[in-house]
Amino acid sequence: MGEIVAAGVSELQNLSSSDCRRLRDLKQLGVTNLVFPGAVHSRFEHSLGVYHLAGEAVNELKRYQGSELGIEPFDVQSVKIAGLLHDVGHGPFSHMFESGFLPKVLGGAKWSHEDMSDRLVDYIVDEHHIEMEDGMLKKVKEMIVASTEHGSAERVKEKRFLYDIVANGRNGIDVDKFDYIVRDSRACGLGCSFQFERLLQTMRVMDDEICYRAKEYLTVHKLFNTRADLHRTVYTHAKVKAVELMVVDALLKANNFLQIASKIHDPAEFWKLDDTIIKRIETDPHPELKESRDLILRIRRRDLYQFCNEFTVPRDGLEHFKEVTAKDIICSQVSGGVTLQEDDVAVSNIKIDLTQGKNNPLKSIKFFQDYDVDQNFTISDQSISQLLPSCCLDRIVRVYSKKPELVAVVCEAFENFQQQKYGRKTQVHGTPQKKKQRRL
């Protein structure tokens, strides 16, 4: 394993020493380490892991079906490099930057870390005069964006199965998930019963698609279920989201001065953005950064936005769900001596699914009976277990008060909103204010 990691480090450094350093300065889980102290691993470590597993996957297929599938050293190298560089396009604090900060400054324009990874690969190769065949460069970039809408592997004419290894837009099973599910679980002190080795060892290609033994159906389900559990217990933890909301506000307030958003269009500038931007804000005495500095100081002092309450959207409301805004909450205020303003309230709209919204991703996965059979098929969940979920999507609306003294007022407005929206209070937790009253 040491030799594999060393090889990965060498290859990553050969591609670009500066971008190598940048991946070390991007935490895999953003600000999660402020709640789960062990979550300090970086995207550099994750990229090495995906590099290794991508190689394992393609070599496993080559070992058993290489001559049949026409897998060449060129293919193996392309898949491994795609695994190595699949995350170079992430911004500071990763998904928080992409889904929390950018939508508020781009005014509806689309941006994704996969697209930036695509552009950064070109930039890295050109800037550092790296010798890479045009065919391999094209293939690597296509593999990186294979799970995105415009980068769908549907248009690939040959060896399409190779495009499902790193970023699988077809059914969601890929080595990227294999690595981060196990790595994140371990870093956050959680157990992980999902064993990706079983899937790597039993997969086969049929009709140009990676298929799995039927007996591994529940192993595949555990992959998606473990990912959903991580979202619920770690990635969207109430305090993690509170910190994220504060960091987003700090970046928004610093954006005009630091010109953060303007850097996302130019790879030569974008690679300079990483998690150290918070230290830049914290230590820069310029008056225009005072509000941002104050927010960072509040985080350091654990003076976070106060969690008020949350509710899970009822199943009959999922189809036409519209994200709740701070304006929705303040418009529901009917009493109180203080009139809430939009800037007093923060709302987090959380989506947790099994990768395909309400749909069960296992319905898009092909299985085979045994190795001596060359037919694949789908399996209905009813034929496996009656304990599997009938709905694969949760939407959770969570509300925070930015000022501790307004918690009670925000809680009441949030309850009124639920009453107006659903005709009843849908939250199941007591409000922080009521909990305090019970303790007195």
**What residues have CB less than 8 Å from 7, skipping those under 6 apart?**
none
Task: Count CB atoms within 10 A of the CB of residue 285.
Answer: 7
Residues 6+ apart with CB under 8 A from 195: 219
* DSSP string for 380-427: -GGGT-SSS-S--EEEEEEEEESSGGGHHHHHHHHHHHHHHHHSS---
429 part of the active site? no
Cα 285 from chain centre? 33
Take residue 412 and report the two structure tokens written for it: 């009441």
Burial class (CB in 10 A: 0-12, 13-18, 19+), 274: buried
146, 167 Cβ separation under 8 angstroms: yes
Of residues 122, 124, 127, 129, the one with CA closest to residue 145: 122
| Given 113, 237, 265, 286, the catalytic residue | 113
SS3 307: strand
Q: What is the DSSP string of 64-95?
A: HHHHHHT--HHHHHHHHHHHHHTTTT--TTTH
Catalytic annotation, residues: 113
